[in-house]
Amino acid sequence: MYYIRYMNTLTAINNYPLDYADSNDPVELDRGVRSAIRGVGLSILTISLTLARIKSEKLFLDLGWKNMTAYIEGLSKDTKSDRGNVFSWLKIGETYIKHRDELEKIGFSSGDSPTKLPYLERALENAPKEEVYNKLMTMSVRDFKKFAKSGKEKSVEAPPFWEIRGNILYIEGKRAIILNTNLGSSTTNMLLSAIGAACRALERKGYLVAVHLKTWKEVELFEHPARRIRSMIQRR
């Protein structure tokens, strides 16, 4: 029963010939996996499902290996593949088979990044099933891996109300003003100072009053009493 359902799944997710995959000969299965790993055009999901079959039916014994770990180590060496990758492919195949009904229901296929599957069970432990399968289909591998750990999407911090980067003013993350870099440092600094004051007033939902003074001496004489008067008004 497992073999029949396995083959139906394998055929459904690929549109190219899989002559080796329906063989009952372990040597043919082994040869097919080796060819696929060497890049003969089969998907990771196909490789993964075949490895899962070799393990579940203990076909590694017929190939002369004492266990699946020994088989994978030999396979990795012969195909010059990373051992960790082959174990990951096996995990993908086993996870797909275990959750096959739900995966078929949502239409998961080799084009939906099977490398997300090793994180599926962890995600199901931390979040509702419907949400997990939705994220599986829509998230990147990296984001789904993070989601699986906590059951939460990566939070996106809100941008500051205003900020100046170089010669550009941003308000709530949106570009608002671009200063010409040829204005000169004196003019640029005055404009940036005025813009900063205006933005602080906006952020505090207040108002801005402009006072034109001619010299820095006048500014120094004006600043202290202006602050005192403002404090008196606001205390009323």
Q: How many Cβ atoms are within 10 Å of 56's Cβ, its own excluded?
A: 15
Higher pLDDT, 236 or 90: 90
In contact, 79 and 37? CB cutoff 8 Å: yes
The single-letter DSSP state of residue 175 is: E
User: How is residue 136 written in tokens?
Assistant: 């599986």
Give me the mean pLDDT over the 96-100 stretch: 93
pLDDT tens per residue, range 154-188: 445 667 888 877 777 888 878 888 888 788 777 87
What is the DSSP secondary structure assignment for residue 20, as one 8-state letter?
G
User: In the prediction, which pLDDT does 79 show?
Assistant: 85
Whether 2 shows a pLDDT value over 60: the answer reads no
Region for residue 41 given its phi and psi (left: phi exceeds 0; alpha: psi -120 to 50; beta: otherwise): left
Torsion of the alpha carbons at 11, 13, 17 and 18, rounded to the nearest 10: -60
Q: What's the pLDDT score for residue 14? A: 42
Residue pLDDT, tens place only, 114-152: 899 999 999 999 999 999 999 999 899 999 999 998 876
Determine the pLDDT at residue 153.
Answer: 56
- pLDDT at position 23 is 64
pLDDT in tens, 179-234: 887 887 778 778 877 887 888 888 777 777 777 778 867 777 877 787 777 777 76
Say whether pLDDT at 3 is over 50.
no
Residue 17 DSSP one-character state: -
What is the tens place of the pLDDT at every residue in 37-95?
Answer: 665 445 788 888 889 999 999 999 998 999 999 999 999 998 888 889 899 999 999 99
Q: Considering only CA atoms, which of 82, 69, 57 is closest in space to residue 3?
A: 57
Compute the radius of gyration of the chain from its Cα atoms.
Answer: 32
pLDDT of residue 20: 52
